[in-house]
Amino acid sequence: AQHPGQGAGQGGRPGGYGHVPESGFGRVPTPGQAQVDRPLVGTLEEGGVIDPDVLWSCTTCGACVEQCPVDIEHVDHILDMRRFQVLVESSFPSEAGTMLRNLENKGDPWGLGARARLDWAKGLPFDVPVVGEDVTDLAEVDYLYWVGCAGALEDRAKKTTRAFAELLHIAGVRFAVLGEAEACSGDPARRLGNEFVFQMLAQQNIETLDEAGAGRTVIVATCPHCFNSLGREYPQLGGTYEVVHHTQLLSRLVAEGRLTPITPIDALVTYHDPCYLGRHNSGYTPPREILAGVPGLRTQEMHRCKERGFCCGAGGARMWMEEKIGKRVNVERVDEALALDPDVVSTACPFCLVMLGDAVAAKKQDGTAREDVDVLDVAQLMLRSVKRNITVVPVDGT
């Protein structure tokens, strides 16, 4: 067959149509059949089109989608391939299997269990209300604080959780947490490609939230991955809630005069945009408003920032997988940050906090970073300024 615009005046039929035999088109010729038979995902030796290391290296940061001139949704296709590899082929990085088992059996990626979810609140100068124990109806509070797995269980991320809870307390915000009833949002499972585990965790959380009456309040999350899952993905399964990120709430509390940064912090800060707060949810302004409102604080942007920001390397469940190709993503990002000679590298995501912190620690060990460089969440910086101290607070102060 020919295109209608072809063949006219060249011996073709009127209108340019050629004859199609009843048997239809011939099969792919033998030399081309080998290409058709190649597996989509496979090593060079297996003749695969996409190497497994390449497929599993994606952090789902969304930079490719952001920059694509023809609006191709690359990340969606990558996740489709991952789902096939996990659910059909049962082929994925072995270290990710541990994370998935922990999610199924313990409800968190580290396998620490529900009993550890309130350890972060120990030692705070006030009680943290827990739904079902201190609060029976979420209509009694202004916000339900979704702490997240990292915020509850990872030591460095716990500092952000404590700082944010203190800021809410200082501002007089009524809030409560789910405590042991909270489970992983399922984000790592979905990004890895295990849709079954994601939906299992999501349905469990939706039942918990609905039973607690979450529809009558606002959920606030310090983790952009939880923020994205609860706000944008749970509605696919019937869980529709109003969800805000902690930087959005803190910026609002400052604007309302309920939080006032007053103590100067003499430091140069560069801010790293979390991909799931920035590119995926356009949350660029609130963190910068918070930093701009801290007296004495000087800010400087990295050359890759906002829509063109560079990933920390933890997204796409990469937090629980080893990097095998090229320079580590978190090291590349920290090299950009340290080139500005900052006192603080700040961010607004527990995964970014861990990844950037690890890279800075490695740089300190090999002598390529100042010993006093710190990695802090914007909530930690804000708390240091909100607290009324007589002297200027150093960045390594408490």
Number of compact structural domains in the chain = 3
Average pLDDT for the chain:
89
Using DSSP's 3-state secondary structure scheme, residue 73 falls into coil
Token reading at 135 = 């609060």
- The total number of residues written for the chain in this structure: 398
pLDDT of residue 51: 75
Sheet containing strand 243-245, strands side by side? 175-177, 143-146, 218-221, 243-245
Q: Render the burial of 90-126: b for 16+ CB within 10 Å, e for the rest.
A: eebbeebeebbebbeebbbbbebebeebbebbeeeee
In a domain, 22, yes or no: no
- Indicate the helix (H) or strand (E) that contains 245: strand 243-245
Give the span between the Cα atoms of 102 and 112, in whole angstroms: 8
272 secondary structure, DSSP code: P
Q: Which residues neighbour 91 within 8 Å (Cβ) at sequence distance 6 or greater?
A: 41, 52, 85
- Indicate the helix (H) or strand (E) that contains 144: strand 143-146
29 secondary structure, DSSP code: P
Place of tokens 């405590």: 179
159 secondary structure, DSSP code: H
pLDDT of residue 323: 85
C-beta separation of 295 from 385 below 8 A: yes
Residue that terminates a domain, selected from 251, 269, 293: 251
Q: Is the pLDDT confidence value at 125 over 60?
A: yes
Same structural domain for residues 81 and 114?
no
C-beta separation of 222 from 379 below 8 A: yes
Same structural domain for residues 115 and 179?
yes
C-beta separation of 388 from 295 below 8 A: no
Token reading at 47 = 């003749």
Same structural domain for residues 105 and 228?
yes
pLDDT of residue 83: 96
Q: Is the pLDDT confidence value at 148 over 70?
A: yes
Task: Over range 274-300, report the average pLDDT.
Answer: 97
pLDDT of residue 7: 46
Same structural domain for residues 57 and 185?
no
Question: Cβ–Cβ contacts within 10 Å for residue 193, how many?
Answer: 27
In a domain, 8, yes or no: no
Residue that terminates a domain, selected from 68, 88, 108: 88
Q: Is the pLDDT confidence value at 135 over 80?
A: yes
Kindly report which listed range (146-160, 269-283, 366-380, 381-395) carries the lowest average pLDDT score: 381-395
Same structural domain for residues 72 and 117?
no
In a domain, 315, yes or no: yes
pLDDT of residue 26: 59
| pLDDT tens column, 190-244 | 999 999 999 999 999 999 999 999 988 999 999 999 999 999 999 999 999 999 9
Amino acid identity of residue 307, one-letter, is: E
In a domain, 147, yes or no: yes
Closest of 241, 118, 111 to residue 188, by C-alpha: 111
Same structural domain for residues 120 and 215?
yes
**CATH classification at residue 265:** 3.40.50
Same structural domain for residues 123 and 178?
yes
| pLDDT tens column, 319-377 | 999 888 889 999 999 999 999 999 999 999 999 999 999 999 999 999 999 999 999 99
pLDDT band at 302 (very low <50, low <70, confident <90, very high): very high
Same structural domain for residues 101 and 83?
no
| pLDDT tens column, 19-57 | 666 666 555 555 565 555 555 565 555 656 677 788 899
Q: What percentage of the chain has pLDDT greater than the value 70?
A: 85
Give the span between the Cα atoms of 180 and 116, in whole angstroms: 8
Range of the domain at 290: 260-384
Same structural domain for residues 122 and 58?
no
Give the span between the Cα atoms of 97 and 103, in whole angstroms: 10
In a domain, 54, yes or no: yes
Q: Is the pLDDT confidence value at 391 over 90?
A: no
Closest of 263, 202, 253, 255 to residue 229, by C-alpha: 202
Closest of 286, 321, 283, 288 to residue 302, by C-alpha: 288
**Helix %, strand %, coil % of the chain (to 5):** 45, 10, 45
pLDDT of residue 41: 62
In a domain, 17, yes or no: no
Same structural domain for residues 239 and 311?
no
Same structural domain for residues 84 and 104?
no
Question: Cβ–Cβ contacts within 10 Å for residue 372, how many?
Answer: 12
Same structural domain for residues 131 and 210?
yes
| pLDDT tens column, 73-103 | 999 999 999 999 999 989 999 999 999 999 9
In a domain, 55, yes or no: yes
In a domain, 227, yes or no: yes
C-beta separation of 258 from 382 below 8 A: no
pLDDT of residue 39: 57
Token reading at 99 = 């994370």
Backbone angles phi, psi at 354, to 5 degrees: -70, -45
Give the span between the Cα atoms of 142 and 140, in whole angstroms: 7
Residue that terminates a domain, selected from 251, 268, 297: 251
pLDDT band at 12 (very low <50, low <70, confident <90, very high): very low
Place of tokens 């979704």: 146
